[in-house]
Amino acid sequence: MRILITGFVAFVIWCVFSAWIYNDKLLPVLSKPVPVLTIPDNQTREADSLMKLKAMMPENLTIYFEFDDARFKPDPQNDSRIAEFRAWLDKYPGSKVLVQGFTDLVGTPEFNTDLGLKRAEAAALYLEEKGIPAGSIIRESLGESRAYESYITKEGRAKNRKTEISIKLP
């Protein structure tokens, strides 16, 4: 009987102690307001304006070349697209036009890098003829380093012989 009474007294003491801990210590902590992290509105507006700016940018212009050739063949459809780039530069003078030359895998890496640069130069000269200032054009060769299509098929290699023209924001 003493064991039952001792156990009951211990149980009552434990219940009182845990109720005191819960009511006086835990509930005040749980009922405190949780701070909410807010993003300043100007950062949101800057991100939105950058997205809108990128959405208004002219789409990339891709010009394909023949095997082992860097001659640019004018195309009336390209001329209208180049006019979009010129209008963009007039509206946003801090922007640049990025001209990247690509090649297929045939040939040494040094030869392909040189050929990619020649293709970029040919396209850049044509852009200059169409009214885009030379100082606004960045020329670079990626050679065979970035393949967009498979090098296994003849058609895939042909699609990698190209120059891409795009806008680079400041």
Tell me: pLDDT of 47 over 70: no
Q: Provide the Cα torsion 75, 81, 84, 88; round to 10°.
A: -100
Tally of CB atoms within 10 A around 48? 10
Q: What pLDDT was estimated at residue 58?
A: 85
> What is the pLDDT, as a whole number, of residue 159?
85
| Percent of the chain scoring above 70 in pLDDT | 92
Mean pLDDT along residues 70-83? 83
Q: Chain-wide mean pLDDT for the chain?
A: 84
Domain 52-168: which topology? 60s Ribosomal Protein L30; Chain: A; (3.30.1330)
Q: Which sequence spans correspond to the domains of the chain?
A: 1-31, 52-168
d(CA 85, CA 99): 12
Do 95 and 167 touch, CB atoms closer than 8 A? yes
pLDDT number for residue 73 = 80
Cα gap 62→17, rounded to integer Å: 77
Q: Cβ contacts of residue 104 below 8 Å, gap of 6+? A: 67, 112, 144, 151, 157, 158, 160, 161
Residue 85 has pLDDT above 80, yes or no: yes
Report which secondary-structure segment, H or E, holds 36.
none
**∠ Cα 35 40 42 (to 5°):** 175
Contact 132, 95 (CB under 8 A): no
User: What pLDDT score was predicted for residue 94?
Assistant: 87
For the chain, how long is the longest CA-to-CA vector? 108
Q: Of the given ranges (47-56, 133-142, 146-155), which has the lowest mean pLDDT?
A: 146-155
Confidence of residue 43 (pLDDT cuts 50, 70, 90): low
Percentage of the chain modeled with pLDDT above 90:
19
pLDDT score, position 10: 92
Q: Which residues pair with 163 in a beta bridge?
A: 63, 101
In the predicted model, is pLDDT for residue 145 greater than 90?
Answer: no
Question: In the sheet where 96-102 sits, what is the strand order?
Answer: 61-64, 162-168, 96-102, 137-143
Predicted TM-score (pTM) of the model is 0.68
Strands 162-168 and 137-143: unpaired
Q: Where are the alpha helices (DSSP H) in 2-75?
A: 2-21, 27-30, 41-56
Using the predicted structure, report yes or no on whether residue 45 has a pLDDT greater than 80.
no
